[in-house]
Structure 1
Amino acid sequence: MKHHHRNPRARGGRKRQPSRRDPLIGFEADVTIEQIGARGDGIAHVDAPDGKSVLIYVDCVLPGDTVRVALRQKRGDGYGAEVIEEIERSGAFNPPRCSHFKECGGCALQHMDDQDYRNWKRDKAKVAVQRAGIDPEDAEHLVGDVEISPPASRRRAGFSVHVGATGVFVGFNGRFSHTVLNVPDCAVLRPELMTFRAAFVVFLTACPADHARNIKEVFVTLANNGLDVVIHASQDPDLDMRQDLAVFADANNIARLSWKTGDRADEPVAARHTPLVSFEGIDVPVAPGGFLQATHEGEQALVNAVKDALAEIAPKHVADLFCGVGSFTFALALSGKRRSVTAAESDPRAVELLQYAVGQSGSPIKVIKRDLFRQPLGGSELSGFDLVVFDPPRAGALAQSEALAVDGPEWILAVSCNPATFTRDMQVLRNGGYEIEKVIPVDQFLWSSHLELFAVLRRTTKS
C-alpha cells in the first residue's frame, strides 16, 4: 500500500460555519418617534424579545409619530428600520413636495414643517458651536438665523446611471440602496438640470445598449453660459458615440461635455465654449466637474457674510485659503476699498483658471498652488496678513488651524461644509487664543442633513 505523508505545511480544511442571522432583522414593533437625529431620520427605542431596549433609526417620520416598523439592517449602535404601517401622524407633518420622497435617498426632511425645519438646522449649528466649548447660552446668541436656499435652486448634481434589461435609469440611489431610481421631477434641482436629465434618458435609450451600459454616472453643473457635463464610464466612447454626443451637446445648451474613463483624466468630447461663472463681475472659467457652491443663493449668502465682516475688520492684506476658483477671492479684493489678497489652492486646474481670470481683470490678487493639508501657511508666512479666510473640503482644515492657532492674525473668517470638522477646527483655534464672535448657518442642501457654517473669530490671547 502506498502511504501518503501529509505535508506539515499544509493547512487543514476549515469547517464552514453556518451564517448567523441577526435575530432582530425583521423584528416588528409599534414605536413613537422621540426626536430627529443628526442625519435627518427619526430616533426611537423598541423593546427587543430579550427585554433589552434597542435604538432604531426610521426614515420619513417626525417626533410624535406612532408607526409600526420592521428592523432591516444593523446601523452603528442601533438598527435601521422601515415603516410598514402609519398608525398616527403628528400634526406637524407636511405633504412632501416630491413624488419620489419615500423612495429616493436625496432628501430626508421634505415632510417637516418649514419653521420646524429651520429650527432644526439652527439647532445643528448651535450643537456644533457648543461642542467647540461654547456655553449653550452663549451659543444661542452667537448663532444667527439660517440662510436657506429655496426649492429648485441647486445648480449641480451627480446622476447615477443604470442601463439594463428593464430600461434606462438616470437619477439617484434609493434609501440605503444601490438601486438607481428614475426621478423625472425633483424639488431641489434647477429646472435646467432636470431638462438635461430627461434629454439624457432619451439619448441613452437611442444608443446601442452595449455602449450605453458603459456609462455609470453623469455630473452636471449649471454655469452662467450653459451646462458643464462630465460622463463617467467604464470604457472609452467610439467614434459614433463621440459624434452623437457632439450633436446632443448642440441640442441641449451644453457648453462643454467631457468623458472620464475610470481613474483617467477627463477628456473634452464636445467643447462649444468654456463654462463661466462670475464673481464681483469678473468672469472665471470652470474646470470640468470643478467645485462651485451648490446654489447661487447660498454662495451669495456666504459672500455677503464675508463683506459684512470686511466692513467691520477693514483689513489691508488677506490670505484666502482653499480658494477654489475664487468664490470669495474677488469679494475680498474688490469689495469696498481694494486690498491685496493671496489666494492658495491645491487643485492645479483651479489655480490655472483663477490666475487667468485675475490676469484678465487686473485685480490685486496673487494666486499660488499649495497643498494646505500637507504644507499649511505658518510662521513668518502668516505675519504679513491681518485677516485669513479659509473654506476647506469636508475633511476640514486641521493642519492649517493648528498653524493659525500659533501664528495667525487677529481675525479669521472660517467657512465649513461639515459641522463635525468645524467643531474640531474651532476647538484648535480657541485653544490657540481665538474666540468665536459670530456664526451664520447656510443651508444649500434643502431638506437634507447637510449644513454649512460661517464663523468670525478674533484673537483675544496669544498661545
Structure 2
Amino acid sequence: MSAETVTIEKLGAQGDGIASTPSGQVFVPFTLAGETITIARQKSSGDLISLLKPAPERIAPACRHFGPDGVNGTCGGCSLQHLAAAPYHAFKRQVVIDALSAHGIDCPVDPLVTASPGERRRATFSARKTDQGIILGFSSPQSHHIVEIEECPVLSPAVFSRLPALKLLAGILATGNEPFRISVLETETGLDVSFSGLKSPSDKRRQAATRAVMAVKGIARLTYEDEIIIEPARPTLDIAGTRVSPPPSGFAQATRQAEETMAGLVVAHLKSCKSVADLFSGFGTFALRLAAKARVHAVEFDAPALAALDLAVRNRQGLKPLTSERRDLSRRPLLPRELQGFDGVVFDPPRAGAREQCEELAASKVKKIVAVSCNPATLGRDLRILIDGGYRLEKVIPIDQFLWSHHVEAVALLTRA
C-alpha cells in the first residue's frame, strides 16, 4: 500500500467517497464529499488514515462500532452514520434518480420516506465459537472478521435485548470454530430464530437448546437449516388483520414501518382494480391487503411461503377470493394471455429484478402496475421496458428501511398510457 492525500469529490452508490487521481478513481469508505484526507491506497481502494479537512455535513456516529476506529473493528452493518440527516436523505433519493437516469428515465421522485433508529425487526448475525466463548455480531466490510456488537441503534429493542439468549443457544449448538449465521425475525409472539452454516447438532445438543429456549423466554421458534427444533409459540405477523405464520427463514420486510408505507402505496394505486396479480408475492404482504377489496392471484416460487399464505387465508373471514400459484417467474413469466383477466399487477422481485416478467407485462393490457424494488439499478432497467411498452411512469417513491446503509427501496407507480 502507498499513502497519499486526496480530495473526495462525491459519494458513490455504495456510500463510499470517490476521489479522482492521475491513476484513476479511488473509493474510500467513511468519507464525504469535499473532504481532504490521507489514505492508504491499494489499487482502486483506500483506507482512511487521517481527516485533514472534514466536510460540514460530517457528524459524530450514533454507534461505537461504526467507522475505521470502531470498537472491536469496523462493523459492516452501516456505512453512512457520519453523514447528517438532510444530506443523508438527499443521497438516498439521488441514488434512485441516478439509477433511473442511467436508463433515460426522467420522472418525479418523491422525498425519501425516512427510517428511525430501533425499527429493524429482521437481522442476520455472524457468529463463531472460540476458546473465550461465542463472538456474535456483524462482519467487517469485505472481511470475515466478526465485530462483536455491544450496542446497535438500528435493531429493535426486542431483537437487541435477546442477544445474550442467542449467544447461549449458539454456545449449545455450535461444535467447531467455523463461522455460522443466526437469522432473527421479531414477530407478534416472539423471536423467530434460525441457525445455518453449522454441523448438524446432536440429539443431546438439540435437547439442551430446547431447555434453554424454554428458560430464556421471548423466543417463539428455533430452527436449524429450516428444521424446527422447538416452537413454544407459532411465530405470527399481523398483516392488515390477518395473522400469518412465516416459514422458517422466510422473507419479511426489514421494518414494519417500511412495509406499511409500501403496502399503502400499492393499495392506493390499485384501489380501482377488481382483479390483481401479486407477482413474487411471498407469504402475502401485499396480497392479503389487496384482497380486502379485489380478487387476488398470488404467484410465488417458494412453496413454504405459499403454504403460509394459504393457511392464513383459510383462517381469515371477509376477504375477496385469493388464489395462489407456485411458479418461477424468471423462467416462466405470466404471458399476456394469462394477464388478460387482471386490471392491476404488483411485483416485488429479488435484487435481480423482473426483466422477463416486465417484457410480458409490456405486451399486455394491464391498466395499472406497481413495481416494488430493493435494487434501484434493476428497477431502472425494468421500468424502461414497461415505459417502452406504453406505460406512463407517474412517480417513484424512495423508502429507507436499512438505516445508515446505502440500500434504498423504491415503489414505482405506472398506468397504461
Report the TM-score when normalising by structure 2. Answer: 0.94
Contact 1:184 1:198 in 2 (8 A): no
> Per-residue CA shift, 1:120-159, capped at 9, x if unaligned?
1111111122223223xxx3xx111111221111111111
Matched AA of 2:182: V
Q: How many residues align?
A: 408
2:369 maps to 1:394:
no
1:280 is displaced (CA, Å) by 1.2
2:158 maps to 1:192:
yes
> 1:204–1:360: structure 2 CA closer, same or farther, 3 Å change rule?
closer
Contact 1:204 1:212 in 2 (8 A): no
Structure 1 unaligned residues grouped into runs of 5+: 1-25, 47-51, 261-265
Name the residue aligned to 1:428. Answer: 385
Contact 1:258 1:270 in 2 (8 A): yes
Matched AA of 1:55: Q
> 1:435–1:132: structure 2 CA closer, same or farther, 3 Å change rule?
farther
Matched AA of 1:294: A
Contact 2:16 2:28 in 1 (8 A): yes
Matched AA of 1:340: R
Map residues 372-383 of structure 1 onto 2, 5 A cutoff. Answer: 372-383=329-340
Report the TM-score when normalising by structure 1. Answer: 0.85
Farther-moved stretch of structure 1 (103-112 vs 357-366)? 357-366
Distance 1:305 1:81 in 2: 41
Name the residue aligned to 2:199. Answer: 235
2:51 maps to 1:86:
yes
1:247 is displaced (CA, Å) by 2.0
Task: From 328, 339, 349, give the equivalent of 1:371.
Answer: 328
1:204 is displaced (CA, Å) by 4.2
Distance 1:233 1:280 in 2: 35
Distance 1:104 1:43 in 2: 21
> Per-residue CA shift, 1:198-234, capped at 9, x if unaligned?
33224545x49x7263661111111111111111133
Task: From 151, 155, 163, give the equivalent of 2:117.
Answer: 151
Farther-moved stretch of structure 1 (444-453 vs 234-243)? 234-243
2:258 maps to 1:292:
no
2:177 maps to 1:177:
no
Name the residue aligned to 1:62. Answer: 32
2:300 maps to 1:345:
yes
> 1:63–1:373: structure 2 CA closer, same or farther, 3 Å change rule?
same
Give the secondary structure class of the aligned counterpart of 1:97: coil
Matched AA of 1:234: L
Name the residue aligned to 1:318. Answer: 276
Matched AA of 2:139: N
Name the residue aligned to 2:373. Answer: 416
Distance 1:409 1:60 in 2: 45
2:104 maps to 1:133:
yes
1:37 is displaced (CA, Å) by 0.6
When the two chains are superposed, the root-mean-square deviation of aligned CA atoms in Å is 1.6
1:194 is displaced (CA, Å) by 1.5
2:130 maps to 1:164:
yes
1:45 is displaced (CA, Å) by 2.2
% identical equivalent positions: 38
Contact 1:233 1:259 in 2 (8 A): no
Please identify runs of 4+ aligned residues in structure 1 that moved more than 4 A: 202-205
Distance 1:239 1:166 in 2: 25
Contact 2:270 2:368 in 1 (8 A): no
1:396 is displaced (CA, Å) by 0.6
Name the residue aligned to 1:109. Answer: 80
Contact 2:270 2:344 in 1 (8 A): no
Distance 1:132 1:388 in 2: 22
Name the residue aligned to 1:14. Answer: none
> 1:122–1:215: structure 2 CA closer, same or farther, 3 Å change rule?
closer
Contact 2:120 2:255 in 1 (8 A): yes
Distance 1:212 1:220 in 2: 22
> Per-residue CA shift, 1:268-313, capped at 9, x if unaligned?
11111211111110101110010001100000110111232134xx
Contact 2:126 2:179 in 1 (8 A): no
Map residues 36-51 of structure 1 onto 2, 5 A cutoff. Answer: 36-46=11-21
Name the residue aligned to 1:273. Answer: 233
Give the secondary structure class of the aligned counterpart of 1:213: coil
> 1:400–1:159: structure 2 CA closer, same or farther, 3 Å change rule?
same
Give the secondary structure class of the aligned counterpart of 1:395: coil
Distance 2:157 2:113 in 1: 22
Give the secondary structure class of the aligned counterpart of 2:270: helix
Name the residue aligned to 2:71. Answer: none
